[in-house]
């Protein structure tokens, strides 16, 4: 029996070569705050497979913040989370959604409970950015070993 991408169980991450030829794990998730847990599992699974466990805490924090931003700022029913190994010390975390509005860091009020996600991503990631697409955007961040 030939299995297609639609036959996969929705909680089963998929390993595939990224367009750059690097290995990547990807998962399509509901655009809900609860998907942050699945994103963390995906990141830890990929980093464990690549023996990059030391990056897990930082990479998971970046992924959770990017998932939270996507859930807050898009009406898309799903998001796509991916982690790509760029080399022996660097991974790229990406979240793709259907909103064409690019993320922008804004100052948060001192007593605000949220609004610091991109500041955290910027502090942890070696670099980050957003690629506009005709149908939405892809927000990415590179996390490197010290």
Q: Which domains does the chain have, with CATH numbers?
A: 15-144 (3.30.565.10)
Residue 122's pLDDT is what? 93
Q: Is 90 exceeded by the pLDDT of residue 96? A: yes
Three-state secondary structure call for residue 2: coil
- The pLDDT, as a whole number, for residue 117 is 80
Q: Which of 69, 70, 88, 94 is nearest to 18 (CA)?
A: 94
Q: What is the mean pLDDT of the chain?
A: 86
What pLDDT score was predicted for residue 15? 53
Q: From CA 32, how far away is CA 132, in angstroms rounded?
A: 22
Buried b (16+ CB within 10 A) or exposed e, 59-79: bbbbbbbbbbbbbeebebebb
| Mean pLDDT of all residues in 65-74 | 93
Q: What is the mean pLDDT of residues 25-34?
A: 95
* Token pair of 47 as six digits: 């980093």
- Cβ contacts of residue 133 below 8 Å, gap of 6+? 96, 100
- How many helices, marked H, and strands, marked E, lie in the chain? 3, 6
In this prediction, residue 114 carries a pLDDT of 66
On the question of pLDDT at 2 being above 60, the answer is no
Mean pLDDT computed over 33-52: 96
Q: pLDDT at residue 109 above 80?
A: no
What pLDDT score does 83 carry?
A: 97
Give residue 113's pLDDT: 61
Take residue 89 and report the two structure tokens written for it. 């010390």
Give me the pLDDT at residue 23, please.
85
């Amino acid at each position: 029996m030939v299995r297609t991408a639609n036959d996969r169980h929705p909680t089963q991450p998929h390993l595939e070569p990224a367009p750059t030829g690097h290995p990547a794990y990807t998962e399509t998730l509901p655009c809900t705050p609860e998907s942050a847990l699945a994103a963390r599992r995906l990141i830890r699974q990929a980093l464990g497979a690549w023996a990059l466990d030391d990056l897990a805490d930082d990479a998971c924090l970046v992924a959770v913040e990017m998932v939270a931003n996507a859930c807050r700022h898009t009406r898309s029913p799903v998001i796509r989370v991916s982690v790509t190994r760029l080399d022996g010390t660097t991974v790229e975390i990406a979240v793709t959604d259907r909103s064409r509005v690019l993320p922008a860091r804004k100052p948060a009020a001192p007593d605000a409970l949220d609004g610091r996600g991109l500041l955290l991503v910027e502090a942890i990631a070696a670099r980050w950015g957003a690629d506009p697409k005709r149908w939405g955007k892809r927000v990415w961040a590179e996390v490197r070993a010290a």
